[in-house]
Amino acid sequence: MSRNPRPKQKDIWRSTTVLSVRRGGTVALGADGQVTFNNTVMKSDTRKVRRVLDGSMLVGFAGSTADAFALLERFETKAKDYPGNITRAATELARDWRTDRALRRLEALMIVANKERTLLLSGNGDVVQPTDGIVGIGSGGQYATAAARALDRHSDLSATEIVREGLKIAAEIDVFTNESIIIEELPSDE
């Protein structure tokens, strides 16, 4: 009697919740620090938010850490190629990410922000600017976004405080998100 071998489960890295809020002249970008491999917490204090271009831009990433760092480096190069034009840099990266054979395999999402804009980038070629200045990605991204929108509408909290509270709420719901939160902020020109 022949038995079908049990299908091999693909190892899954789940690694974060990232949230950005633009409010009151400031853009804040934060992330939790948890990285998990299947059902195991591998690290609880990973830094998933970075300042680039002498601190003038913020980048947050969710997904495979190695892939995210590769994309972060490429984004920084594109941002240097198109100084002051975050939308063009993001669009060029998204195009490369979608069409380049090696980049297409990278599994991550990114949020990039400067004083004027916040953008979500994906490997599908998406470059999306949220209408309300609030966007979340990663395993708890939807929870953090919903919490941030409610706090934005019904509180006087600052952008940074909304990011912190939104990430804390996501950590209460999503097992792949923790409360080891890092937040960076930039004043905006709005």
Q: What is the pLDDT of residue 40?
A: 85
Secondary structure class of 3 (helix, strand, coil)? coil
**What is the mean pLDDT, run by run of 10 residues, along the chain of 190 residues?**
47 73 96 86 89 92 80 90 92 84 74 95 88 95 97 98 98 94 83
Q: What is the pLDDT of residue 7?
A: 42
Q: What is the pLDDT of residue 144?
A: 98
Q: What is the pLDDT of residue 81?
A: 94
The catalytic position among 16, 36, 65, 160 is: 16
Q: What is the pLDDT of residue 107?
A: 72
Catalytic site residue 16?
yes
Tokens describing residue 179: 């409360």
